[in-house]
Chains A and B, each alone.
Chain A
Amino acid sequence: AQSVTQPDIHITVSEGASLELRCNYSYGATPYLFWYVQSPGQGLQLLLKYFSGDTLVQGIKGFEAEFKRSQSSFNLRKPSVHWSDAAEYFCAVGAPQFYFGTGTSLTVIP
C-alpha cells in the first residue's frame, strides 16, 4: 500500500540555520515525489518534484530534496532558513492521486 511518513510533527530552527525535513514513503512502483508548502491561510504551493533522473532536485525558495531509493526517503533541505519559511510542509507520493504525509510544522525563531 502507498503511504508517506513524516516523522517530525514539529520542528523549530533559528533563522539562518540549516533545515532538513524527513519524508519516507512506501510505494509499489517508481515513485513520483513532491514537496508542498502551506502557509497560514494559504493554499498548497509546490516546492519541488521528482519523477526520474538526477536524484538531487532543486526547487523554489532555495529548497532542495534528495531521492534515496535504498532508504525510501525524499528529505527536504535548505541551507539557511528565513523567517518567511515558517509554514506547514507536506511530502506526497503517487500518480495520479497523491498520498500525503501528515505534515511537518516549521517554526523559525529569530
Chain B
Amino acid sequence: GAGVSQSPSNKVTEKGKDVELRCDPISGHTALYWYRQSLGQGLEFLIYFQGNSAPDKSGLPSDRFSAERTGGSVSTLTIQRTQQEDSAVYLCASSPLADYNEQFFGPGTRLTVL
C-alpha cells in the first residue's frame, strides 16, 4: 500500500518568508508526527497528533512553528518568517496508534532558507 508522502520534496525560500510543508499519512493511521533533521544532528521531535486529541507541541522550537491536521488525516507544518537556522529536512511519520508502535516515515522535505 501507499506509504507516507510529503510535499514538496525540496523547498528553497528566502529568509523572512513563510513556508508550508505537507504530509499525507498512511490511510487509517491515527497518530502523526513531525521531526526535524538538521545537518550533523539527529532527529528532533517537533509535534505529534493523536486522533482528535490536542496535539503535543512540546518539541516546537519557537512560536514561528505551527502545525495542523485536518480531518484526522493530512497535516501541514507551517514555518513563519523563516530563518537560516530553519534549514533542515522535515520528516513526517505516522503510526496506527500512538503508543507501542513503530512509526512509518515519509521521504522528507528538504528546506533551504537563503
Residue ranges of A at the interface with B (Cβ–Cβ < 8 Å)? 4, 32, 34, 36, 42-46, 49, 51, 90, 92, 95-103
Encoded as 1 (CB less than 8 Å from any A CB) or 0, chain B from 40 to 78 comes to 111111001010000010010000000000000000000
What residues of B have a CB within 8 angstroms of the CB of A97 in the complex? Answer: 33, 45, 48, 56, 59
- On whether the beta carbons of B102 and A34 are closer than 8 Å, the reply is yes
Q: Which of A4, A49, A101 contacts B102 (CB 8 A)?
A: A49
- On whether the beta carbons of B99 and A95 are closer than 8 Å, the reply is yes
Residue ranges of B at the interface with A (Cβ–Cβ < 8 Å)? 31, 33, 35, 40-45, 48, 50, 56, 59, 91, 93, 95, 98-108
Q: Which of B59, B91, B98 contacts A44 (CB 8 A)?
A: B91
- On whether the beta carbons of B100 and A95 are closer than 8 Å, the reply is yes
- With A90-B42, A90-B43, A97-B45 as known contacts, state yes or no: A43 contacts B106, CB within 8 Å: yes
Quote the shortest CB–CB distance from B72 to chain A (angstroms).
16
What residues of B have a CB within 8 angstroms of the CB of A95 in the complex? Answer: 98-101
What residues of A have a CB within 8 angstroms of the CB of B33 in the complex? Answer: 96-98
**With A and B bound together, what is the CA distance between A101 and B45 in angstroms?**
12
- On whether the beta carbons of A100 and B42 are closer than 8 Å, the reply is yes
What residues of A have a CB within 8 angstroms of the CB of B45 in the complex? Answer: 97-99
